[in-house]
Amino acid sequence: MNKKFLAATFRRLLVCLTFLSLFAFPMRSQVQTERHVSPASKVSDVRHVELTPSREVVHLVDDRLDTIVRTVKHDISHYTDTLTTVVMTPDSTLQHRVETLPVDSQDRRGHYIEAYLGLGYGTMGYELKKVGEIDGHVNGSFSALLQFQYAYFFHKNVGIGVGLWVSNYTSHAHLEGSKEWSDQTDTDSELKYTHHTDIKEWRERETVHNLGIPVSLQFQAWKPGKKAGFFTDFGVAPSFQVGKKYKLLDGTLEHTAHYPNWNLDLSNMHEFGTRDYTGDDDAKGKMNVKYSIAVFADLGVLFKVTPQVDIFLGGYFTYSANDVNNSDKRELGWGSDKEYAFMDRYESAYSLTNAGKSRPWEAGLKLGVHWRKIRKPERRDVEYYDYFTRRDTTVSLVERYDTVTVEHIDTILSPIKKAAVKVEKFNKIYFDFDSSVLTEESKTYLRSINEVLSEVSDTVRISIQGHASKEGLRKHNEALARRRAEAVANYLVEQGLSRKRIEVISFGSLVENDENVNHELPLDRRVEVKVITDDKQNKYSNKIVIKSKK
């Protein structure tokens, strides 16, 4: 064993200790080391050792067996080198910022103020039966409705509402004919007389004004991106009469009496109960109506004017579920037992004994406005990590013996070309919050990936998979993840990589980083580059194993 060999061995040991000292310092994350060696001079002759050609069986990534015929030559040289060692230490600092979450315009839940105006046809909802020769009928008339209410939609399609409305029911009652009551006894119980009622083209208007409290269940449905939607509601409304009256419009109504013993006819004598109600103030009195429980329904279309305002156009219908007639029924032309036998007062056709049950109803068109309270954008404090890289450079002069093995491949049956790298795993490319812009550090790393792939067969393809953190809406994250993946793909194409070797996939925020054990949101804002193999059960592989030239 000569002195030169001992000196060379000592120098190799010194170099190894120098490298180990660089990695002895604690780091917060993975350390990347770059060495740049500039040969100064050779201080000894080069010795060559050549081997004869040999055949080997090589296991590739997909377990295929390929036969390689190679010629190997070893060059052993003694160098004096300038060694520059750059140690890059990724690190991060915890930061805070205030973010504003956008409001989803398609979310129809929340508070509403609604106002409606309705015009249509209404009636008191009763019939007049025929009595003797006296016949009658009832027609409806113009009606109106004014309504205000509050609604809350606890689901995007379903809500409840409560409010107030003012409406009116108007009917026109018609009476025609005459009737006689013979052999009647007056208050003296002695004389007999004949009572006669004569009606000619009698027509009166009966009107009731209601104050209602509608309670409803509401439904609305909108297709995404459309300006019109479907709306309907139905419910009950306790109603109270705030105004009720009838008024003579036309015709005559007269009660007369004939005493055959005296050959006497009495007409329009109030003290004897014979009255002519034509133009009488008693023919312009109030009706006796009680409260009602109305059921109602609306059906129509909503038109979006602004994000807060919708216009409703449709129809409405209300119907009283109970009989609202509260009159002391009287027979036309007849009075009570305690008074003259003649009819002493008239309280509208609505209060006659031949008037049936009264269930008012109304139907018509409805125009309304819905004002929706839109939630303010939510602001929140977000923690994130600001990443940076520390660089430490060490320059030293070292003497070393180096052995270079050169392989000359004569025949190779693999579709993978000769290459000069062994890639264990591609690192992930990270992005800032809501950004798809590549940093200069990311571009440097992508150029190294392109160099690796340029030395591999064109049959080797990569999958560029975009990801986003779980902040924000799903659709927004899907689009953001795809933009990140496209940014990586476009940059690799600019560096010379064929687009045919690239597959772009967006996973949105569905897949977390497998290295993100603490669930830190910045680690999910990434793009992963994976190798596509022919193995159907394991489509993506993180490794490309290639024999080295050295």
Q: What is the CATH number of domain 421-550?
A: 3.30.1330.60
Write the CB contacts of 477 (distance below 8 Å, at least 6 apart in sequence).
Answer: 468, 469, 470, 471, 508, 509
Return the closest-CA partner of residue 290 out of 170, 143, 124: 124
- Residue 7: its pLDDT value, please? 64
Q: How far is residue 311's CA from residue 371's CA, in Å, rounded to a whole number? A: 9
Question: How far is it, in rounded angstroms, from Cα 108 to Cα 195?
Answer: 70
pLDDT one-digit tens code per residue, 372-413: 988 777 788 888 777 778 777 877 777 766 676 666 554 443
Give the model's pLDDT for residue 270.
67
Q: Give residue-wise pLDDT tens across range 225-273.
A: 888 999 999 999 999 989 888 888 888 888 888 888 778 888 877 666 6
Per-domain residue ranges of the chain: 1-93+385-414, 110-372, 421-550
Q: Which range (271-280, 431-440, 465-474) has the least confidence?
A: 271-280
Report which of 5, 10, 7, 22 is spatially closest to residue 396, judged by C-alpha positions. Answer: 22
- What distance in Å separates the CA atoms of residue 349 and residue 288, rounded to the nearest whole number? 11
Which fold, 110-372? Porin (2.40.160)
Separation between Cα atoms, residue 348 and residue 288, nearest integer Å: 10
Phi, psi for residue 299 in degrees, rounded to 5: -150, 130
pLDDT, tens digit, 9 for 90 and up, residues 196-216: 888 898 898 999 999 999 999
| Measured distance CA(98)–CA(379) in Å, rounded | 7
Q: Which is more confidently placed, 503 or 53?
A: 503
Task: Label residue 185 left, alpha or beta by phi (over 0 means left) and psi (-120 to 50 means alpha).
Answer: beta
Please report where in the chains the tokens 């013993």 appear, as a residue: 261
Q: Closest Cα to residue 379, out of 164, 24, 12, 96?
A: 96
Strand 110-123 and strand 135-153: the pairing is: antiparallel
| pTM for the whole structure | 0.50
The residue to which tokens 């929140």 are assigned: 380
Strands 110-123 and 361-372: antiparallel
